Structure 1
């Protein structure tokens, strides 16, 4: 069997996080040092949530590269210029780009790195093997049986979906997370359905609006623990959590302090929505109220205690009012979970580390609470063996909200700054071979 090539940097996942890292490495003069594997057959970003009218809730200047290199050809502005769309975009006077347009930008950048990505390769396991020089290497095995070897690893897969306990054994074609929304709902065709949407996130309200625009959806029931869809805290002071300076402030804090701060700042990014979608839903709800329609049902202050099958074959949710403890049942043909993602930690909804790290968990350094220690440069330096000749580092690219703050919660705003931190760390610690420095042209 031919031994696979050893890459200085091996990236798992090729979404915006590792795409930004690829851009940074190229512009620092290290093009070709990294290899990425991606489970999708081609580049895609939020493919399941490209809904009509949905935007990115992010300043377009805070793109893959602008904060680090304003003259890069990979900026969003340059993308618009090369597409001949800059004037049209400026004419819109839009605060944020449409999600579909930003997905086009990301795919356009990704095309420049097609030669560095193996698409259709889903990572199945990560382990450690001995290299020819006596040092250790990361080995990634894919579901197709391919092996990849790397001296450093950048994990850019995104966080694991949070599936509340009552739904964990029921996932399938009619019970699914919001990350599977479009393909799952379209797979049902024109079948007449009643849908329950669990959660009060931006994704949840966008999905409800999309469902209500579908003629085959007979009824939508919205269930959430709070009073309803709350307005996101968009104050410039609050949104300092998406600045690199906040990461510097947050990272050294004790774990207990970090948890308290994240609870206090939760409304900036979680269980909260933008004004435009709230206004749209309230308007639709008012129309239904005026006509006596029950097509939209709102059940605040509720949590699901049990999911069973109704006599008619639909899903039956036993829901409880968290204040009065009253119970009622909700029957739905489809259940959609807009319940967010899991963090690293020891709480009931947390996981100690990403599941792909299970094969190297015995080498992860842990803090007093049993959670892996992540350095400021987003790296975990594995515990060394007696014979180790060099330290091994796995970089968590976009997985570090618990250690680095809310800017790492899948936010586009931190892409450029985070990729710069990781790339600079790789240059300092990994054996990267410099190629010809990239000549950066001006914006068109």
Structure 2
């Protein structure tokens, strides 16, 4: 994505972005989908209401402020907010190297004998920096049974639109695994596609649960909650995250639940099996069958099994955390080249400071510890507000930039190199 906080000394930051141009949730810009976040908690408003990069300034610049206010809508469409983010990104285009993917991170010796980070890209590019910030997003969570079958017909929700478009001229049956907001939005989109003969919703719970949207619960998206959460022991952090799970995970907004229930009732009244619900089920086998796939679903309570045939499987199964729990990964794959220098906690996860930095273990004679910053990758250490929540973008970026400026030692050294987004 775009640099969310420009450094106060221009020219010392460089951003590396895999995509050929700015994009945000490109694979999930579905008709009617909104952002579920107060639009004025944007890239800059909380940090600086007078910034030229606020959502209000965007609306005013395109002559759409009066029209937007007239709509009296709680949340803007995802497509509109994506356009706002792209508008901001355009102002920083000269600092971003688009179409380059960070492939390897290592440590090298600088001309003065001090250590530097080296970022190598997939096209042979090389960058040197005193500090690195990774804003890559977490790795998709792929259930074990589907890991070997990923491809054109089995894919994660982060690849939804481009993948499903390949089937627009073919009659298909689709299974959607998961009970998240993304899952229900994808099901509604599939039901609006004439070529989709049947949609089967597979999830381990009773169905699509209502998201906890109480202002008291949503305090998890405030900076004050990060201050409260970060010092807790790892075990207590895990317990608290489980208790608060329905605020952001395996839960949906009322409007999409109402739309799906209405569609299901229409199908029931007409005797149609176009929408099939399979609650309390998990896939235990997935294998090719004809031109599609055959899955074995197990009822997690009765332990009975049934088969389900589908042409396409969409995995709306979320993302992997950093930690020692089943399905977690110990750290972001891009950190593999410096893993031997990462300080680890009792779970084997990197120790991340409140300012989102990991201070590398020093060796004898090291003048100043190098730091790598994790931007949007710290849910396990900083709480749910770090799980891609738009509400935290500007304040988190401020924390990172303030920390970078506090720890710099020479005006000539590079401050920041950003990672790629998925």
TM normalised by structure 1 equals 0.91
Partner of 1:217: 196
Contact kept? 1:33, 1:432, Cα under 8 Å: no
Contact kept? 2:22, 2:89, Cα under 8 Å: yes
Residues 19-30 of structure 1: matches in 2 within 5 Å?
19-22=3-6, 25=7, 29-30=8-9
Partner residue of 1:226 out of 202, 205, 229: 205
Residues 26-425 of structure 1: matches in 2 within 5 Å?
29-310=8-289, 312-425=290-403
Find the residue that maps to 1:426 and give its secondary structure.
helix
User: Structure 1 stretch 260-269 or stretch 385-394: which is displaced more?
Assistant: 385-394
Partner of 2:416: none
Structure 1 residue 19: Cα displacement: 2.2
Contact kept? 2:285, 2:295, Cα under 8 Å: yes
**Mapped partners of 2:409, 2:266: distance in 1:** 63
**Mapped partners of 2:179, 2:168: distance in 1:** 26
**Mapped partners of 1:123, 1:166: distance in 2:** 29
**Mapped partners of 1:21, 1:141: distance in 2:** 24
**Mapped partners of 1:432, 1:285: distance in 2:** 63
Contact kept? 1:197, 1:338, Cα under 8 Å: yes
**Mapped partners of 1:143, 1:187: distance in 2:** 27
Q: CA offsets, 1:198-230, max 9 Å, x none?
A: 000000000000000000000000000000000
**Mapped partners of 2:346, 2:299: distance in 1:** 37
Q: CA offsets, 1:15-67, max 9 Å, x none?
A: 2xx62133xx2xxx322221000000000000000000101000011000111
Structure 1 residue 263: Cα displacement: 0.2
Structure 1 residue 413: Cα displacement: 0.5
User: Structure 1 stretch 356-365 or stretch 381-390: which is displaced more?
Assistant: 381-390
Structure 1 residue 431: Cα displacement: 4.2
Structure 1 residue 432: Cα displacement: 6.7
Contact kept? 1:426, 1:432, Cα under 8 Å: no
Structure 1 residue 283: Cα displacement: 0.2
Contact kept? 2:3, 2:15, Cα under 8 Å: no
Partner of 1:8: none
User: Structure 1 stretch 39-48 or stretch 301-310: which is displaced more?
Assistant: 301-310
Contact kept? 1:152, 1:430, Cα under 8 Å: no
| Paired positions, count | 412
Find the residue that maps to 2:148 and give its secondary structure.
coil
**Mapped partners of 2:346, 2:278: distance in 1:** 40
User: Structure 1 stretch 186-195 or stretch 120-129: which is displaced more?
Assistant: 186-195
User: Structure 1 stretch 365-374 or stretch 249-258: which is displaced more?
Assistant: 365-374
Contact kept? 2:135, 2:376, Cα under 8 Å: yes
Query: What CA RMSD, in Å, does the superposition of the two structures yield over aligned residues?
Result: 1.0
User: Runs of 5+ in structure 1 lacking a partner?
Assistant: 1-14, 435-444
CA distance change for structure 1 residues 306 and 390 in 2, over 3 Å: closer, same or farther?
same
**Mapped partners of 1:313, 1:333: distance in 2:** 7
**Mapped partners of 1:430, 1:184: distance in 2:** 44
**Mapped partners of 1:431, 1:326: distance in 2:** 64
Contact kept? 2:342, 2:358, Cα under 8 Å: yes
Contact kept? 1:223, 1:302, Cα under 8 Å: yes
Contact kept? 1:194, 1:217, Cα under 8 Å: yes
Find the residue that maps to 1:20 and give its secondary structure.
coil
CA distance change for structure 1 residues 387 and 48 in 2, over 3 Å: closer, same or farther?
same
**Mapped partners of 1:85, 1:91: distance in 2:** 10
